[in-house]
């Protein structure tokens, strides 16, 4: 289905909701395997719709969508945790839905819980955790099935800046070790630049891609990179396009 | 102490009023209308024969109420699950569930007698009929109110209907179902007693005894029977409260203690 070399390819993609709202129109996008792309745009520009369409949660109403894998993980704005399960049970959930045998599931969950640093809290229920810990549990849940494509919808939007930055570093470390392809929707320009190989700026509704800005910073990126002139310059470019989009 | 004192004060005050009405308002020859508490205690509960009769009747009514409740729960949850599977099923079935709730059950009682006899099964059926609606309505509400991002997660990972039901919808609906069950348990106890008034074949339930004591003007025993059936209702309600805490107390908002 996909043209060689791309994991996701959208051509002239359109999405109109049954109520008549046109969320996306004439959107072209190609993402290569192993790439990490960030999407920024004004509120209501269809960023979430774009992710949902890529995930197959919404049918497209125009153009074509080709996706090279079904091994998808999706981190939603709210952590997808069942309140009656412990952290361990929640992390196992996705593997369970994929019918991974119990023993293997346990091991995968244990590994993922350790990766996000929640080992001490494996027996806690979601309401006993802080917002950041809940999001880490959701990340771990997504990681158990070793996704080839990782979609993240403003996963850190509700968290304080310190927690955000720490989770960004964890996400980067996970990306570097797992080498999935990532698409991150975010409101934060700095977060987009820090994590991605390129930043896409979406226009107001109906969303299409206004700018495609490469981020030629070395990986792994250390927290201090945020204070370099180069980082600031890229953020400036993104912000300029974003300003034009409003 | 703080939790026990206020209701204890109310109890003492109520007993005081009861004595007052019994001894001051009523002349001795009309005292049978409201026998004083100690007479109720002596005749109704301390007389071995009377107590045995009452407890046997209560046992039978409890059996009717609990069996009716069990059937109503199984049927109610089943119907709610069915309705949650497709809008057209809900649209076809729900109006009849509402009808079931709104027809005066007493109007149906003679028919039930013709069809199912004037004994045990009709009494159970009355309980099912009065108890089923809160279970259907609450369970359906619970099944429908799973959060969108959780539904999306299950869709994304291609979970089938059964998996979705077992792992997401039913556990999410449990607190609502239990709330319905608590209401229905009370209704079912009432149903069992009401059923007794009409279906008198077989061993007498507590409703039959109440009717009998009324006819014979045995007001001490009448009061004892009323008290006993009320306490049974309270015990059932309280048991389901405990059950709720035990089943969802570790995670549901309604049961979480404020720290």
B157–chain A Cβ distance below 8 A for any pair: yes
pLDDT of residue A67: 93
Q: Chain B, 38-57: which have a CB under 8 Å from a chain A CB?
A: none
Residue A35's φ and ψ, nearest 5 degrees, are -80, 150
- Give the model confidence (pLDDT) of A115-165 as tens digits: 888 999 999 999 999 999 999 999 999 989 889 999 999 998 888 888 888
B152–chain A Cβ distance below 8 A for any pair: yes
- With CB atoms and an 8 Å threshold, state whether A83 touches B158: no
pLDDT of residue A48: 93
Angle between helical axes of B120-144 and B87-102 (0-180°, round to 10): 140
- Tell me if A234 sits within 8 A of A213, measured CB to CB: yes
pLDDT of residue B258: 47
pLDDT of residue A1: 46
At CA B64, angle to CA B61 and CA B65, rounded to 5?
85
SS3 B50: helix
A76 vs B contacts (CB less than 8 Å)? 149, 152-153
- With CB atoms and an 8 Å threshold, state whether A97 touches B250: no
- With CB atoms and an 8 Å threshold, state whether A55 touches B156: yes
A53 to chain B: closest CA residue: B156
Peptide bond preceding B136 in cis form (omega within 30 of 0) = no
Distance of CA B240 to the CA centre of its chain: 10
DSSP B4: T
B163 vs A contacts (CB less than 8 Å)? 97
A51 vs B contacts (CB less than 8 Å)? none
pLDDT of residue A157: 85
Query: Could you say which residues of chain A have pLDDT below 50?
Result: 1-2
pLDDT of residue B257: 56
Select from B150, B157, B250 the Cβ nearest to the Cβ of A125: B250
Select from B149, B158, B174 the Cβ nearest to the Cβ of A76: B149
B153 to chain A: closest CA residue: A80
Query: Could you say which residues of chain B have pLDDT below 70?
Result: 255-259
pLDDT of residue B111: 87
- Tell me if A8 sits within 8 A of A67, measured CB to CB: yes
pLDDT of residue B110: 83
A55 vs B contacts (CB less than 8 Å)? 156
A99 to chain B: closest CA residue: B159
From residue B181, give the alpha-carbon distance in Å to each of A130, B10, B95, B104: 33, 28, 20, 21
pLDDT of residue A109: 95
- Positions of E strands within chain B: none
Query: CA–CA separation, B244 vs B240, rounded Å?
Result: 6
pLDDT of residue A41: 92
B247 to chain A: closest CA residue: A84
Query: CA–CA separation, B113 vs A181, rounded Å?
Result: 69
Tokens of residue A64, six digits: 């074509």
SS3 B128: helix
């Amino acid at each position: 289905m996909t043209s060689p070399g791309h994991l996701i390819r959208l051509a002239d993609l359109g999405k109109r909701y049954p109520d008549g709202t046109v969320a996306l129109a004439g959107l072209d996008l190609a993402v290569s395997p192993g790439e990490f792309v960030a999407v920024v745009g004004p509120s209501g520009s269809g960023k979430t719709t774009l992710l949902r369409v890529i995930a197959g949660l919404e049918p497209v109403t125009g153009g074509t969508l080709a996706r090279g894998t079904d091994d998808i993980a999706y981190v939603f704005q709210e952590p997808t945790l069942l309140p009656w399960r412990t952290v361990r049970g929640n992390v196992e959930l996705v593997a369970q839905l994929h019918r991974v045998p119990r023993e293997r599931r346990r091991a995968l969950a244990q590994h993922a819980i350790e990766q996000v640093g929640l080992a001490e809290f494996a027996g806690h229920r979601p309401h006993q955790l802080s917002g950041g810990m809940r999001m880490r549990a959701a990340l771990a849940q997504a990681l158990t099935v070793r996704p080839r494509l990782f979609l993240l919808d403003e996963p850190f939007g509700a968290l304080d800046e310190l927690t955000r930055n720490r989770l960004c570093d964890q996400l980067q470390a996970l990306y570097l070790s797992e080498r999935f392809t990532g698409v991150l929707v975010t409101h934060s320009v700095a977060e987009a630049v820090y994590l991605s190989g390129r930043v896409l700026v979406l226009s107001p509704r109906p969303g299409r891609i206004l700018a495609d800005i490469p981020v030629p910073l070395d990986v792994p990126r250390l927290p201090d990179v945020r204070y370099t002139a180069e980082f600031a310059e890229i953020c400036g470019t993104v912000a300029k396009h974003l300003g034009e989009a409003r | 102490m703080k939790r026990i004192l206020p209701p204890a004060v109310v109890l003492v005050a109520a007993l005081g009023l009861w004595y007052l009405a019994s001894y001051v308002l009523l002349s001795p020859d009309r005292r049978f209308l409201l026998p004083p508490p100690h007479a109720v205690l002596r005749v109704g509960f301390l007389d071995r024969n009377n107590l045995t009769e009452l407890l046997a009747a209560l046992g039978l009514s409890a059996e009717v109420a609990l069996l009716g409740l069990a059937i109503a729960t199984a049927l109610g949850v089943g119907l709610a699950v069915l309705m949650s599977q497709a809008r057209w099923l809900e649209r076809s079935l729900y109006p009849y569930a509402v009808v079931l709730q709104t027809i005066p059950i007493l109007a149906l009682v003679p028919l039930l007698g013709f069809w199912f006899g004037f004994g045990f099964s009709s009494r159970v059926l009355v309980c099912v009929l009065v108890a089923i609606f809160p279970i259907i309505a609450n369970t359906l509400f619970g099944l429908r109110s799973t959060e969108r991002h959780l539904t999306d997660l299950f869709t994304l990972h291609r979970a089938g209907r059964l998996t979705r039901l077992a792992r997401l919808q039913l556990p999410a609906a449990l607190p609502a179902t239990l709330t319905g069950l608590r209401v229905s348990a009370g209704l079912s106890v009432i149903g069992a007693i009401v059923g007794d008034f009409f279906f008198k074949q077989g061993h007498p339930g507590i409703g039959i005894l109440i009717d009998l004591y009324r006819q014979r003007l045995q007001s001490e025993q009448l009061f004892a029977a009323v008290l006993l059936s009320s306490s049974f209702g309270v015990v059932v309600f309280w048991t389901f409260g405990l059950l709720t805490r035990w089943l969802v107390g570790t995670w549901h908002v309604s049961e979480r203690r404020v720290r």
